[in-house]
Amino acid sequence: MDKIIIDGPCPLKGKVKVSGAKNSTLPIMAACLLSPSKFVLRNIPSVVDAHTMIKLLSALGAKTEWLSKDAISIDSTNVNKWKAPYQIVSKMRASICVLGPLMARFKKAEVSYPGGCVIGTRPIDLHLKGLTKLGAKIELKDGYVVAKAKKLNGASIYLAGVYGSTVLGTANILMASTLAKGETIIEGAACEPEVVDLGTFLIKMGAKIKGLGSPTITVTGVKKLHGAEHTIISDRIEAGTYLIGGIISRGEVEVEDINPKFLTVFIDKLIECGVEVKQTANSIKVKAKKNLKPIEITTLPYPGFPTDLQAQMTAFLTTIEGISFIHEKIYPDRFMHIAELLRMGARIMKQDSATIIQGGKLKGAPVMASDLRASAALVLAGLAAEGRTEVNRVYHIDRGYPKIDEKLASLGAKIRRVKA
């Protein structure tokens, strides 16, 4: 098991390119199950979750082949299974994305209840509600979601829940409804760029979809879909993470190959802090000024502040004098990183789904990663901390950040990966 060692503080400086969006890649790969066809996907990030999805598709009968370091072909012509096994699904929550495509194609599916990051309860009730509305009969049996339908019919479906819209739920219902008879109207749909990316791919496959990027998506079912080629959008969360790396280390970093419109509220909050931000059509550059100011953040569904950047921003705010507040409105239990930041000298108090952060200085310490984004937050904290930080269990970070140690080293970080 690897660990990452950082000797800080080490101001970052330079340019870094982000990879394809993990949260686009996984449902788009799953969408290839919808049609017995061949597909080519480009800008695939080399992360563990992408390789896990490849294993899942292969287990269902698809043939996959890497065409280059970031391009893959998927041939789903001979897919003849509709049971997604626990051994694979338990490793990655996004495995649930095969449920919709399998139902659309075979009118039956058995998918193990999903696993993934331990960041609190993330139920799939809205996924099941949507499929039921389309005509599926669903039961939970031996840890599996077992779904069957004689046929799928279009319906009006409301998908927003207590904590807002469901991204993967929207993806599942969007995919299932492409082959349902008639019109499906998804109200309370997720507006994330990754959902738009999936919808764009489905349209290339022959789907009829309107309203992508809005809370109301209309899908007119078609009889069949076909193969397509697609380039995945860049990862806005990876981009945000490296931008925070630049400012938490009090350096100057430019992230390339990212659309700033994907991070509007995040950028607003950086500017509110006093960070100097420069934008082009496909890049964002940040520079930390001396007198940074504490702020208040509330995570919300897109286009609000991303919950996937909450842990990283928490680490940053621990380095700013004064009191900052973060309100977590998406996953109220997503605070696994706090205990480890406290080991580094952070002063953070948790109250229900909010944190109160008293800024100061961080000191290096051995810490333990608990989930994907918490891992990134601890690495960022190590860039600002005095002394050596050892981040253990970094297999979590490999699920979503391709070669993070190499990218940070290229920016000047004193960082290395070693066998624990």
- Residues marked active site are found at 117
Cβ-contact 302, 266 below 8 angstroms: no
Q: Which two tokens stand for residue 162?
A: 């207590």
Cβ-contact 268, 279 below 8 angstroms: no
- Give the DSSP letter string of 323-388: EEEEEE-S-TT--HHHHHHHHTT-EEEEETTEEEEE----B--EEE--SHHHHHHHHHHHHHSBEE
Instruction: Round to whole Å and give the CA distance between 137 and 145.
Output: 10
CB within 8 A of 134, min separation 6: which ones?
103, 149, 152, 153, 154, 155, 157, 173, 176, 177, 180, 184
In eight-state DSSP terms, residue 232 is P
Helix (H, G, I), strand (E, B) or coil at 392: strand
Provide the pairing of β-strand 323-328 with 347-351: unpaired
Instruction: Round to whole Å and give the CA distance between 245 and 8.
Output: 12
Q: Which two tokens stand for residue 239?
A: 């981009």
